[in-house]
Chains A and B, each alone.
Chain A
């Protein structure tokens, strides 16, 4: 059932199935065979009983016709010679007669009892065993007892032979069944082999998706795997696209700058110098934006964040950076981990809380809650807030409400990107504290 490899216990589906199926098949066969034996026994006994019954009645009729005379030759009739394995004994009052005098001693005692019933008579010397029927009746006050017996051992022998043959046939059937089970297990597990082959092909680039031509039980697994491949493709495509955009947009300014610097005849001063600086600053911000965009993992199976711990760290850190502002944290969560990739979650919280910290007069309030379908992050500050008409544009690329603060233009745009990639919602409204309230809701699953 288990094969031990160095440091690893592997567990095979095939052996498990066989381990359960084979013994139960064998047990089933064995029981069937035993029942067959019992039924066979029962049937042949019934058959013999019936015959003995008939013969006794036949004798009784004979006796009733000839009574009170009794012709002992009746028992020595040729009929009884033919069926030599049948034995007859008769008592009329004090007279007794036997078809086989040699068996007299065994049969004598049984004639004394006058109860009609089936008997089993063992003959000690020969080792034969007789099934017998004793019929008792009276005529003119005289008790009459007839015993008709049949040697059962012959029948038992042939019956045993039959039973043995049945055993042989059963064993053959069992073997056949085992082969069938092996075949069934092999067939059932063949999709796994196919999957393995296809994954190999996939890696080798011979195919780009797994085929759905599998038993229903495997369909879910295969479509999950295909979805995973879709995610990987999307991500690869996105990063390629990003790289292409980036290289396209930075090559030109780099070429221009190199050209100017390499040309010893052009003095680098005045407005040209300023131009070069702003060109380089532009390069950097492009690089930064692309870096952020390509570093998002987006929703994916198996990546979760522990929101409370992460938010606590970020809130603590911003509390250290904005010394004269208070950051408050309220959490009410019953789901300790959220299906958001950790880095994405960090960027999300960091940017939105940092933004609040930048604008707050004295207090920033961060709240993590969850409802039926969503995980909710609310961040509010007591700063000047944002005009309702300008809220829709918050976080749109290129818009900077905080021109005066250096290097933070990207914050809310990144937040918007991440929320969108998780199919969440981003809502700006007015806080009770007077500033901006940012409400982010992310679907739980």
Chain B
């Protein structure tokens, strides 16, 4: 399994390469953002380990370049900064996992293997309807204005249900089936609350209410 390691600290890189090779990976190592950009797009890796703090740029920018070029390689970010906002920014840029330094090499290997398992047989599916894009892999939606919004599991399932068949009317009962049962008996109010929240997120007119019938993802925009 080919793996790309982007890490500028020689000492850390050397020990990681040794460890990853013994775990059965064929490792290519680069130490700069510039090389990382090129290698990531030329070669076909099963996974990439990417350090955020590189001498000639940010790992996040490298990652964004890869993702814009439609590269779907699973990426694990390494960083010395463990703040939550850093993690969020990493995943928003398209990373799949995140590890703060210092870490045990065993944990790194376990995470990489989990990423590869997750990505196997994964078809990167994007639902499109009236200018909206639903990224099923990353559970997020892009509005026609071009902004991405992350979705929680339930929001994602509801929106996917509506967007999969734009123009079709879904009754509340049909939508309730999409909900995991948190309450003993989920009520219609729950659906209303979720629809309200989705509208706040992606625009008032994206989902229409048909009184007494249900909801419809609008295609007349």
Interface residues of A (CB under 8 A from B): 281, 284, 288, 295, 312-317, 319-321, 323, 326-331, 342-343, 346-347, 349-351, 362-363, 365, 406-407, 433
Q: Which residue of B lies closest to A351 (CB)?
A: B84
B83 with A347: CB separation less than 8 A: yes
> CB-CB < 8 A to B133: which residues of A?
none
B88 with A317: CB separation less than 8 A: yes
B140 with A330: CB separation less than 8 A: no
- Known interface pairs A329-B152, A343-B83, A347-B84; 9 further A-B residue pairs with C-beta atoms within 8 A, sorted by A's residue number: A316-B151, A317-B87, A319-B152, A320-B91, A320-B139, A326-B152, A330-B193, A342-B85, A346-B85
- Residues 92-110 of B, flagged 1 when their CB comes within 8 A of A and 0 if not, give 1000111010111001000
Bound: A295/B83 CA distance, A: 10
B140 with A316: CB separation less than 8 A: yes
Bound: A331/B139 CA distance, A: 20
> CB-CB < 8 A to A295: which residues of B?
83
Bound: A433/B181 CA distance, A: 11
Which residues of chain B in 65-87 are interfacial with respect to chain A, using CB atoms and an 8 Å cutoff?
Answer: 82-85, 87
- How far is the CB of A328 from the nearest CB of chain B, in Å? 6
Bound: A347/B140 CA distance, A: 23
A to B CB contacts below 8 Å, 14 in the list = A314-B88, A317-B92, A317-B150, A321-B98, A326-B152, A329-B152, A331-B197, A342-B85, A347-B84, A350-B84, A362-B180, A406-B104, A406-B107, A407-B100
Bound: A321/B193 CA distance, A: 26
In the A-B complex, the 3 residue pairs with the closest CB atoms: A316-B150, A350-B84, A346-B84
A328 with B83: CB separation less than 8 A: no
Bound: A324/B103 CA distance, A: 24
Q: Which residue of A lies closest to B137 (CB)?
A: A320
> CB-CB < 8 A to A346: which residues of B?
83-85, 88
B182 with A321: CB separation less than 8 A: no
> CB-CB < 8 A to A330: which residues of B?
193
> CB-CB < 8 A to B34: which residues of A?
none
Most B C-beta atoms less than 10 A away, residue of A319, A330, A351, A365: A319
Bound: A326/B178 CA distance, A: 13
Bound: A409/B191 CA distance, A: 38
Bound: A330/B179 CA distance, A: 14
- How far is the CB of A315 from the nearest CB of chain B, in Å? 6
> CB-CB < 8 A to A365: which residues of B?
182
B138 at the interface (CB under 8 A from A): yes
Bound: A315/B182 CA distance, A: 17
Bound: A323/B156 CA distance, A: 13
Q: Which residue of A lies closest to B85 (CB)?
A: A346
> CB-CB < 8 A to B82: which residues of A?
288
Bound: A430/B115 CA distance, A: 34
Bound: A315/B149 CA distance, A: 12
- In this complex, how many residues of chain B approach chain A with their Cβ under 8 Å: the count is 31
Most B C-beta atoms less than 10 A away, residue of A288, A320, A330, A331: A320
Q: Which residue of A lies closest to B96 (CB)?
A: A320
Bound: A176/B216 CA distance, A: 79
> CB-CB < 8 A to A319: which residues of B?
139, 150, 152-153
Majority secondary structure of chain A interface residues (helix, strand, loop or mixed): helix
Majority secondary structure of chain B interface residues (helix, strand, loop or mixed): mixed
- Residues 136-155 of B, flagged 1 when their CB comes within 8 A of A and 0 if not, give 00111000000001111111
- Partner of A313 from the list B92, B154, B197 (CB cut-off 8 Å) is B92
> CB-CB < 8 A to B107: which residues of A?
406
Bound: A396/B197 CA distance, A: 36
- Partner of B85 from the list A312, A320, A327, A343 (CB cut-off 8 Å) is A343
Most B C-beta atoms less than 10 A away, residue of A295, A312, A331, A363: A312
- How far is the CB of B11 from the nearest CB of chain A, in Å? 13
Most A C-beta atoms less than 10 A away, residue of B88, B151, B180: B88
Most B C-beta atoms less than 10 A away, residue of A321, A323, A328, A365: A328
- Partner of B152 from the list A316, A343, A347, A433 (CB cut-off 8 Å) is A316
Most B C-beta atoms less than 10 A away, residue of A317, A326, A343, A346: A317
> CB-CB < 8 A to B102: which residues of A?
281, 284
Q: Which residue of A lies closest to B104 (CB)?
A: A406
- How far is the CB of A67 from the nearest CB of chain B, in Å? 107
> CB-CB < 8 A to B103: which residues of A?
407
Bound: A281/B129 CA distance, A: 51
> CB-CB < 8 A to B180: which residues of A?
326, 362-363
Which residues of chain B in 192-210 are interfacial with respect to chain A, using CB atoms and an 8 Å cutoff?
Answer: 193, 197
> CB-CB < 8 A to A321: which residues of B?
91, 97-98
> CB-CB < 8 A to B188: which residues of A?
none
Bound: A407/B84 CA distance, A: 14
> CB-CB < 8 A to B197: which residues of A?
331
Q: Which residue of A lies closest to B184 (CB)?
A: A432
Bound: A284/B102 CA distance, A: 8
B21 at the interface (CB under 8 A from A): no
B150 with A313: CB separation less than 8 A: yes
A327 with B100: CB separation less than 8 A: no
> CB-CB < 8 A to A329: which residues of B?
152, 155
> CB-CB < 8 A to B85: which residues of A?
342-343, 346
A327 with B153: CB separation less than 8 A: yes
> CB-CB < 8 A to B152: which residues of A?
312, 315-316, 319, 326-329
Bound: A365/B183 CA distance, A: 11
- Known contacts A317-B87, A317-B88, A346-B83; A326/B98 CB under 8 A: no
- How far is the CB of B183 from the nearest CB of chain A, in Å? 9
Bound: A315/B96 CA distance, A: 15
B118 at the interface (CB under 8 A from A): yes
Bound: A312/B201 CA distance, A: 10
Bound: A331/B154 CA distance, A: 14
- Known contacts A317-B87, A365-B182, A407-B100; A323/B153 CB under 8 A: no
Which residues of chain B in 162-221 are interfacial with respect to chain A, using CB atoms and an 8 Å cutoff?
Answer: 180, 182, 193, 197
- Partner of A326 from the list B100, B104, B153 (CB cut-off 8 Å) is B153
Q: Which residue of B lies closest to A353 (CB)?
A: B84
> CB-CB < 8 A to B149: which residues of A?
312
